[in-house]
Amino acid sequence: MDPGRSGVVVVGAGIAGVACAGELLRAGVPVQIRERARATGGRMASRRFDGRPADLGAAYLTVSDPDFAEVVRGWQAAGLAREWTDTFVAYGGRGRREVRGPMRWAAPLGLRSLVEQLARALPVVVDRLVLGVEPGPAVDGAPCAAAVLAMPGPQAALLLDPALAAATEAVRRQRWSPTLAAVLRFRTRRWSDFRGAFVNDHPLLSLVCDDGDRRGDGAPVLVAHTTPEFAAGHLAQPTGAAPAVEAAVRDLLALPDPAEHVHVHRWTYARPTAGSDAGFHLDDDGIGLAGDVFGEPRVQTAWRSGRDLGRALARRLA
Ligand SMILES: Cc1cc2nc3c(=O)[nH]c(=O)nc-3n(C[C@H](O)[C@H](O)[C@H](O)COP(=O)(O)OP(=O)(O)OC[C@H]3O[C@@H](n4cnc5c(N)ncnc54)[C@H](O)[C@@H]3O)c2cc1C
């Protein structure tokens, strides 16, 4: 399974790492993905509550790149992705109003299922925390032809030997902000019709989505994302934020009943606030970096970044 000296080790099985490895495999380059979590998906994370998945990370995906559109059509044909809505509401200084935007796509089984589908034919080792990437390059002491770090820069910085100066500098320039995502499960649906709500100028909330509508099963579940400022104050004890998030959601949507269960997930590195437009990073030390930091912080950007890095590496190693 080890890709050996002529192969590539991809660290991180989010959509960027999976797209990169897929491209390498198609080009005939030996590759292995190593993922510290028990499953693929990264920030396209879904967790099951009483058997039902709820999306804890990315809320939906949008599509403008024709190549990514083809991938999404493949998911749609497999019954994994569906068009959700182009209409959200926005709360803010002007009260509540409808806002039209791009079509937002959702996944009935959770967004994680989309990454799992792309990763199905790839050599992925899960539950495998990578500890170090050294000059050579080598990953955890084993030499390889190239190493790809497909993860937020602060996580990559923990792995990179400082002698890998170009990659170290590239991750040092990145800036990231945190978010808390709260899954609120209610006894019944008591909110007026909405699919998702952008919450502007709020001290605590930034987004609330109707997960039952998004998933298509009508379950009485909301998922709320907090502002980076609120999250920053609760990173040490995210579960302690549950009562405040629940109170803010009930206040916003005028919900009479409390939630039956609230689960809070911490994203220390949720979104990049400063990155690069380069698409990806690939240097003479054989280190690649890919992810949503290389453009608009979106699923599509991460996919394209991984795909393009995979192509560049395949050309280099041919
Ligand atoms: C709360 C939230 C809401 C979002 N909403 C949207 C949205 O509505 N629409 C949209 O398009 N995008 C959204 N995004 C962004 C979207 O989720 C990301 O752009 C995309 O999932 C990034 O994928 P990635 O592969 O670059 O990184 P990640 O998904 O972060 O993957 C990195 C992987 O690397 C692994 N890893 C890290 N360190 C190690 C190590 N040492 N060893 C092994 N593995 C390691 C991690 O476990 C992870 O699986 C949102 C993100 C968050 C957090």
CATH 3.50.50.60 residue ranges in the chain? 1-58+111-174+275-318
Please give the number of the atom of ligand 1 that sits closest to the Cα of 59: 8
Q: Which CATH topology does 85-103+176-273 take?
A: Polyamine Oxidase; Chain A, domain 2 (3.90.660)
Dihedral of CA 310/316/317/318: which sign?
Answer: positive
CATH 3.90.660.10 positions along the chain are 85-103+176-273
> 254 C-alpha vs ligand 1 centroid, how far in Å?
32
Residues 6+ apart with CB under 8 A from 246: 182, 184, 258, 259, 262
CB of 181 shorter than 6 A to ligand 1: yes
CA of 149 to the centre of ligand 1 (A): 12
Cα of 151 from ligand 1 centre, angstroms: 7
Does the C-beta of 225 come closer than 6 Å to ligand 1? yes
CB of 311 closer than 6 angstroms to any ligand 1 atom: no
Question: Which residue minimizes the CA distance to atom 4 of ligand 1?
Answer: 58
Q: State which CATH number among 1.20.1070.10, 3.50.50.60, 3.30.390.30, 3.40.50.720 fits the domain covering 1-58+111-174+275-318.
A: 3.50.50.60
Question: Does 11 sit in the ligand 1 pocket, CB within 6 Å?
Answer: yes
Ligand 1 pocket check for 267: Cβ under 6 Å:
yes
Give 42 Cα–ligand 1 centroid separation in angstroms: 5
Name which of 106, 40, 53, 60 is nearest 79 in CA terms. Answer: 106
For position 52, what pLDDT does the model report? 93
Residue 1 has a pLDDT of 63
Mean pLDDT by 10 residues, the chain (318 residues): 85 98 96 97 94 94 98 97 96 89 96 97 96 97 96 97 97 96 95 91 96 94 98 96 97 94 97 90 98 96 98 95
